[in-house]
Structure 1
Amino acid sequence: MTQAITFADRYQTVLVPVIFEPWAKELVRRADPQAGDDILDLACGTGVVTRELAKRLPGSRNLAAADHSAEMLGVARSLAKEAGLDVEWVEADAATLPFADNRFNLAICQQALQFFPNKLAALRELRRVLKPGGRAVFCVQRELDVNPMLKAQAATLEAYVGAEAATAVEAICSLPDGTEIQMLFEKAGFRDIEVTSVTLDLQHPDAAVFAAGAMGGMHTGDKLSGLADGDIDRAVEAFLDGLGDCLDGRSLRFPHVSNVIVATA
């Protein structure tokens, strides 16, 4: 019997290599972790930041990762086991972390703050588990107007599936204001807060393959699954048409713009 492909599997195979792995590299580069640091990957998903940290700090036994999704953690654990990594994987809400006060030197959080139901509570909880002087490094998606791939995706889903499907993409860009983000970190007690708009140039060799996978690998699930095959094909074509200059023949190349936040506990 063939095992069904889960959302977490699709997320890992479609979105991680194109979007989340490049951002993981960028965040780890900016965080500059050191040997001996106790590090938390907050809202770790399938563990791409943790795996990048392990490459930077081979043999480290001080890596912990937390996510609210058991399905995502299942993929993360499996990939870590294959790679022989020693990681503490924890299923937990960001606002109620099961860690002691002042445990971590560094926390990294990729594209998740915008989804936290209580952002301020989550940031205060993170500050609690960071040591005094510990660092937090986040990235948070900016608005649709500066992210043409997501803008084309939202427009396609609204046209072919409905407004609710488009809202799922818009939620990715629901915390675009750097000033608002800075105020959240300030209210949570962080200091030396820097918010910088950063653009990564991302690509995929086959735009049609990415289109079908991306709209079926979002955090809210497969938005095209209810459509007939012909409508799925037409939706993918509409997405490709909406990419404009980001489409180069068969390949896709697009700017992906986020605010990167570096702050001290």
Structure 2
Amino acid sequence: MKGFSMQSRDPALIEFIEFLDGARLVSSVQEQKRITAEMLALQSGEKVLDIGCGTGDDLCDMAPLVAPAGRCVGVDLKEGMIEEARTRARQKRLPVEFLQADIYTLPFADQTFDVARAERVFEHLQRPVQALQEMIRVTRSGGRILVASPDMDTNLIDHPNRQITRKIQHFECDRRPNGSAGHKLYGLFWDAGLTDLQVRAVVHTTLDYKEMLSFLDIRERVEAAQKAGVITIDEAQIWLEQLAQAGQAGRYFMSTNHYVVYGRKP
């Protein structure tokens, strides 16, 4: 694991960073990164804004593509995450910038960037329309905007208890501010007047039970559903035991659709 800065020692933050690092190793996540890079087609000299930049690894990957005259800026709501991103960028000796900021009030002038992107952000937003408008504001005319989000309504787990599985899945989607964000992105872009719209879907599939446990706390999801009264304690325990049995037998399956939407500002 990569070292954490002193200001990112919060246990919850460290756990989230571990999740991000683990997710980057998953083949379907790597495929989504390849697709987003292909859709954006960054050019030397361009100015790029990455919203919800997390550990900054994606932005560090983009920096060489816009070098030497380009600019890469990452923003995140969590100060500890920004500190971690700065630490990693310094280790890689890359000229990228990171600052704490809210997607609803980005601290940049109108038409500052050629590209604005947000990956795995909109599912956490209560005001996605306002967020997209702010991305549009800071992007120049003719610039590109890309948003990628999972759609938890498409989360599937092969489990013998279909009824309990659906209860857990629906609860997990609904407890997020915008859990079904993925399939709504195209409509958001259309309503905002963006042009040259493109949509790509990536099916994130996990067949390895141990791999899933390395980046996803499935027990936390089930316990949250139980505490909310969606399922009983016995149902939660039996469901987890049956899932573990499927994993041990080598027949574990889980998938979620992620949608990548691209558009141009007129």
Instruction: Report the alpha carbon displacement of residue 48 of structure 1 after superposing the two structures with TM.
Output: 3.2
Question: Matches of 2:219 and 2:90 in 1, distance apart?
Answer: 23
Indicate yes or no: 2:115 matched with 1:106.
yes
2:201 to 198, 201, 212: 198
Q: 1:164 to 1:129 in 2, by over 3 A?
A: same
Instruction: Report the alpha carbon displacement of residue 252 of structure 1 after superposing the two structures with TM.
Output: 6.8
Structure 2 partner of 1:72: 81
Instruction: Report the alpha carbon displacement of residue 214 of structure 1 after superposing the two structures with TM.
Output: 0.9
Indicate yes or no: 2:264 matched with 1:261.
no
Question: Matches of 2:211 and 2:119 in 1, distance apart?
Answer: 24
Indicate yes or no: 2:42 matched with 1:39.
no
Is the contact made by 1:60 and 1:86 (CA closer than 8 Å) also made in structure 2? Answer: no
SS of the residue corresponding to residue 109 of structure 1 reads strand
Is the contact made by 1:47 and 1:65 (CA closer than 8 Å) also made in structure 2? Answer: yes
Question: Matches of 2:54 and 2:72 in 1, distance apart?
Answer: 15
Q: 1:156 to 1:83 in 2, by over 3 A?
A: farther
Question: Matches of 2:70 and 2:218 in 1, distance apart?
Answer: 35
Is the contact made by 1:10 and 1:217 (CA closer than 8 Å) also made in structure 2? Answer: no
Mapping for residues 86-235 of structure 1, pairs under 5 Å: 86-145=95-154, 147-148=155-156, 167-168=174-175, 173-177=179-183, 180-194=184-198, 196-200=199-203, 202=205, 207-211=209-213, 213-215=215-217
Q: 1:67 to 1:238 in 2, by over 3 A?
A: farther
Q: 1:139 to 1:76 in 2, by over 3 A?
A: same
Instruction: Report the alpha carbon displacement of residue 78 of structure 1 after superposing the two structures with TM.
Output: 1.9
Map Cα deviations across residues 182-223 of structure 1 (whole Å, 9 max, x no partner). Answer: 3322343422323x241245557x5225325411799x9x97
SS of the residue corresponding to residue 100 of structure 1 reads coil
Instruction: Report the alpha carbon displacement of residue 74 of structure 1 after superposing the two structures with TM.
Output: 2.5
**What's the % identity of the aligned pairs?**
20
Indicate yes or no: 2:16 matched with 1:8.
yes
Residue identity matched to 2:258 = S
Structure 1 unaligned segments of length 5 or more: list them.
Answer: 227-231
Question: Matches of 1:51 and 1:192 in 2, distance apart?
Answer: 27
Question: Matches of 1:128 and 1:37 in 2, distance apart?
Answer: 17
Mapping for residues 51-70 of structure 1, pairs under 5 Å: 51-54=60-63, 56-57=65-66, 61-70=70-79
SS of the residue corresponding to residue 263 of structure 1 reads strand
Decide which moves more: 126-135 or 6-15: 6-15
Decide which moves more: 54-63 or 123-132: 54-63
TM-score, normalised via structure 1 length:
0.72
TM-score, normalised via structure 2 length:
0.72
SS of the residue corresponding to residue 139 of structure 1 reads strand
Structure 2 unaligned segments of length 5 or more: list them.
Answer: 1-8, 228-235
Instruction: Report the alpha carbon displacement of residue 58 of structure 1 after superposing the two structures with TM.
Output: 5.5
Compute the RMSD of aligned alpha carbons. Answer: 4.0
Map Cα deviations across residues 70-104 of structure 1 (whole Å, 9 max, x no partner). Answer: 22222222222221121110211111000111111
Instruction: Report the alpha carbon displacement of residue 4 of structure 1 after superposing the two structures with TM.
Output: 6.9
Paired positions, count:
242
SS of the residue corresponding to residue 149 of structure 2 reads strand
Question: Matches of 1:238 and 1:29 in 2, distance apart?
Answer: 40
Instruction: Report the alpha carbon displacement of residue 234 of structure 1 after superposing the two structures with TM.
Output: 7.4
Question: Matches of 1:253 and 1:190 in 2, distance apart?
Answer: 37
